[in-house]
C-alpha cells in the first residue's frame, strides 16, 4: 500500500510517523489486523502548520542521531567480539601464543595447555521451549513473554519488542524461565529461508528489556551451562559455525521443508576449545564478556531512546508539549535530549578513549568540535574508537595500495599516521589491530607468512562467490534500499566511492542472490537477506 501526501511535510520519516498516529482508527480485525479502503478514504490526518512540522522534525532528529550513534557503537563492539573470538579461539593467536607450542588433538593441532571440551560436558541442560495458550486456562495460568527466533535481533539490540504474551503451566514456567547466562538457539525453521542455529545471548539487560517472566518459544532450545561465564563464547561459537556454513551439518530437513536442529548430535560431536589454565581462561573470557556487557548497556539505551521518541511524537503533534517556533533554543532545551556523547563513552579498559591526540579531521559521519580557546577555530582530536570503522578500512586500503607488504606493527604504524596520529600507544595499537583483522576477513588484505598485503586492487578481481558472501554480510538483516546496499557493500570492502564498475558488479550480485533465494525483494527497491 502506498500513501502520498498532497500537502507539504518536512521529511519522509515524519510523514510515516504522522500517518501511523492517525491510521490506528482504520484498523479492523481481531486475529489479524487489516486496513479497509473505505475507511482510508474518509480518514482525516491532522497536520500542524509547516513551521511546526519542521520544529518537530528538529526535535526528533536529536533522538535519531543518538539512536544511530548507539547502533554504530554496537556494530563496532560486535565486530570486536567476533574478531577476538576468531583470533583467540579459532586461530589460537591469543596473548602469549608466541611462546606456546601446538599439540595434536581430536580437533587438530591446538595450543599446549588447551583442551577440546565436548558440549555435553559443558551443558547442564538443553531444554525445549513452550508455546502455551493465547488465553489463560485452568492449566495454563502462568503469564509469560515468549521469545521466538524472529524476535532475537529486536530483543538483543533494543528494537521494538513484538514478543507475544501467552499463558503456560506454572510448572513449565518454573523449569523454563530464562536466566542470565542462557543461550537460546533457534532449532526449527523453514530450511528454504535460513539455517538453524541463530542464537540469543541472555544477560541482565535482555531480561530487563523483556520486563516479564520469559521463556523461549517451543521451536527453540535453551542451552544452560555449568559455567555461565562461557555463554558469550558459546554464542560466538554458534555464530561462527553459521557464518562458515557448518551448522547445516547439524540440521535435518524433513520432507515438508522444515529444518530441525540435531541437538544431541551437536552436544556429542561439537567442541569448545579452551585453556585449562584458570588464570588464562578467566582473562580471555572476561575480555569478551566485557564487550557484551557494553553491548547490553547500549542496547538498553537504544531501547529507551526509541520509546521516548515514540512517546514524544504524539504529544508534540497534539500540542501537549508546546513548541515556540521562533525560539529554537528553548524548544530544544525542553524537548530534545542532550547531544553530548559522554554518557556513551566506554568505561572498560578495552574500550576506553585513546590518550593520544590525533589531528584527524573527520568526514561525513564524524563530528568535529571547535575549540574556542584559540584564535580561529581548531578541530579537537578525534578519539580512535569514535572514528567510523568504514573510514578506517578505506584508509587501510589506501595505505596498502600505495606501499609494499607490511608486518603487523608496521601496518599499524602506517595506518595510524595516515589517520593523523603522531604516536601509536597501546589503545591505538589494540583497536587498529582489530581493524586489520577485519580487513583480512573481508578480503581487503591477505596475511601471507605474517606479512599483510592488499588482496586485490579492483572489485573485478574477486571471486564471485566470495563477493556474494561479503555482500550479504555488508547489508545486515533488515530491509534496505538497493542503492544504500550497494553503498554499504562498497564501504564494507574499503572502497572510498562507488564507481560504475562497483555498481555494475553489485547489481549483478543482487540479481544472482535473488535468483538463488538468498535475497528477497519487496517493492521495486527494497531487498533483505533470507539467511
Q: Given this model, what pLDDT does residue 7 score?
A: 57
Residues 472 and 430 in one domain: no
Across 427-434, average pLDDT: 88
Residues of the chain above pLDDT 70, percent: 80
E strand or H helix at 167: strand 165-168
The three cell numbers of residue 10 are 518536512
Residues 264 and 322 in one domain: no
| First CA to last CA distance, the chain | 26
Across 140-168, average pLDDT: 94
The three cell numbers of residue 511 are 540479481
Q: Given this model, what pLDDT does residue 194 score?
A: 81
Lowest mean pLDDT among 128-142, 351-365, 481-495: 351-365
**What DSSP assignment string belongs to 178-236?**
--TT-EEEE-EEETTT--S--EEE--HHHHHHH-S-EEE-TTEEEEEESSGGGHHHHHH
- DSSP E strands, 331-381: 370-371, 378-379
Task: Find out whether 317 and 18 touch, Cβ atoms under 8 Å.
Answer: yes
Residues 149 and 270 in one domain: yes
Residues of the chain above pLDDT 90, percent: 47
Alpha carbon distance 246, 260 (integer Å): 14
- Residue matched to cell numbers 572514528: 387
pLDDT tens, residue by residue, 179-190: 999 999 999 888
Q: Which position has the higher pLDDT, 484 or 131? A: 131
Residue at a domain's end among 428, 454, 480: 454
Residues 2 and 80 in one domain: no
Residues 382 and 294 in one domain: no
Torsion, Cα of 65, 473, 194, 506 (10° steps):
110
Residue 351 located in a structural domain: no
Residues 194 and 268 in one domain: yes
Task: Find out whether 263 and 323 touch, Cβ atoms under 8 Å.
Answer: no
Residues 469 and 330 in one domain: no
Q: Given this model, what pLDDT does residue 479 score?
A: 83
Q: Given this model, what pLDDT does residue 74 score?
A: 92
> 123: which strand partners?
225
Alpha carbon distance 178, 176 (integer Å): 6
E strand or H helix at 271: strand 271-275
Q: Given this model, what pLDDT does residue 341 score?
A: 37
Q: How many domains does the chain have?
A: 5
Q: Which domain holds residue 446?
A: 370-454
Residues 141 and 271 in one domain: yes
Residue/partner pairs of 423-430 with CB below 8 Å, 24 or more apart? 423/356, 424/356, 425/354, 425/355, 425/356, 427/352, 427/353, 427/354, 427/355, 427/356, 427/384, 427/385, 428/354, 428/356, 428/384, 430/350
Task: Find out whether 215 and 177 touch, Cβ atoms under 8 Å.
Answer: yes
Amino acid at each position: 500500500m502506498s500513501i502520498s501526501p498532497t500537502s507539504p511535510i518536512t521529511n519522509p520519516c515524519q510523514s510515516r510517523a504522522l500517518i501511523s498516529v492517525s491510521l490506528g482508527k482504520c484498523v479492523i480485525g481481531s486475529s489479524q489486523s487489516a486496513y479497509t479502503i473505505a475507511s482510508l478514504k474518509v480518514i482525516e490526518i491532522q497536520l500542524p502548520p509547516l513551521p511546526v512540522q519542521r520544529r518537530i522534525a528538529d526535535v526528533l532528529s536529536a533522538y535519531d542521531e543518538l539512536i544511530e550513534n548507539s547502533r554504530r557503537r554496537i556494530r563496532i563492539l560486535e565486530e570486536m567480539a567476533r574478531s577476538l573470538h576468531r583470533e583467540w579461539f579459532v586461530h589460537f593467536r591469543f596473548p602469549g601464543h608466541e611462546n606456546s607450542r601446538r599439540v595434536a588433538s581430536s580437533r587438530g593441532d591446538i595450543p599446549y595447555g588447551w583442551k577440546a571440551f565436548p558440549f555435553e560436558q559443558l551443558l547442564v541442560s538443553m531444554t525445549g521451549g513452550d508455546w502455551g495458550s493465547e488465553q489463560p486456562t485452568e492449566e495454563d495460568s502462568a503469564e509469560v513473554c515468549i521469545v521466538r527466533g524472529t524476535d532475537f535481533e529486536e530483543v538483543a539490540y533494543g528494537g521494538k519488542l513484538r514478543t507475544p504474551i501467552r499463558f503456560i503451566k506454572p510448572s513449565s514456567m518454573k523449569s523454563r524461565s530464562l536466566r542470565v547466562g542462557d543461550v537460546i538457539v533457534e532449532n526449527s525453521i523453514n530450511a528454504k529461508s535460513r539455517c538453524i542455529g541463530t542464537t540469543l545471548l541472555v544477560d541482565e539487560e535482555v531480561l530487563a528489556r523483556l520486563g516479564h517472566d520469559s521463556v523461549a518459544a517451543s521451536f527453540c532450545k535453551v542451552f544452560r551451562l555449568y559455567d555461565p561465564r562461557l555463554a558469550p563464547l558459546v554464542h560466538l561459537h554458534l555464530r561462527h559455525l553459521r557464518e562458515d556454513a557448518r551448522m547445516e551439518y547439524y540440521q535435518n530437513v524433513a520432507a515438508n521443508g522444515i529444518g530441525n536442529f540435531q541437538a544431541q548430535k551437536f552436544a556429542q560431536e561439537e567442541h569448545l576449545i579452551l585453556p585449562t589454565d584458570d588464570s588464562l581462561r578467566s582473562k580471555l573470557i572476561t575480555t569478551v564478556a566485557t564487550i557484551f556487557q557494553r553491548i547490553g548497556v547500549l542496547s538498553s539505551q537504544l531501547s529507551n531512546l526509541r520509546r521516548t521518541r515514540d512517546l514524544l511524537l504524539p504529544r508534540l503533534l497534539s500540542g501537549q508539549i508546546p513548541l515556540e517556533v521562533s525560539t529554537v533554543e528553548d524548544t530544544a532545551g525542553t524537548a530534545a535530549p542532550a547531544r553530548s556523547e559522554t554518557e556513551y563513552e566506554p568505561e572498560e579498559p578495552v574500550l576506553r578513549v585513546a590518550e593520544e591526540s590525533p589531528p584527524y579531521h573527520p568526514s561525513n559521519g564524524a563530528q568535529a568540535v571547535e575549540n574556542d580557546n584559540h584564535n580561529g577555530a581548531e578541530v579537537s582530536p578525534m578519539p580512535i574508537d569514535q572514528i567510523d570503522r568504514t573510514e578506517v578500512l578505506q584508509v587501510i586500503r589506501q595505505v596498502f595500495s600505495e606501499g609494499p607488504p607490511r608486518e603487523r606493527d608496521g601496518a599499524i604504524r602506517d595506518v595510524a599516521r595516515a589517520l593523523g596520529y603522531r604516536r601509536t600507544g597501546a589503545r591505538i595499537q589494540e583497536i587498529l589491530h582489530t581493524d586489520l583483522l577485519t580487513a583480512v576477513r573481508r578480503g581487503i588484505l591477505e596475511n601471507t607468512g605474517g606479512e599483510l598485503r592488499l588482496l586485490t586492487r579492483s572489485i573485478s578481481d574477486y571471486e564471485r562467490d566470495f563477493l556474494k558472501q561479503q555482500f550479504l554480510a555488508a547489508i545486515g538483516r533488515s530491509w534496505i534500499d538497493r542503492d544504500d546496499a550497494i553503498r554499504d557493500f562498497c564501504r564494507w570492502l574499503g572502497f572510498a566511492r562507488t564507481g560504475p564498475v562497483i555498481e555494475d558488479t553489485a547489481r549483478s550480485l543482487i540479481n544472482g542472490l535473488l535468483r538463488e533465494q538468498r535475497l528477497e525483494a519487496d517493492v521495486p527497491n527494497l531487498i533483505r537477506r533470507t539467511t
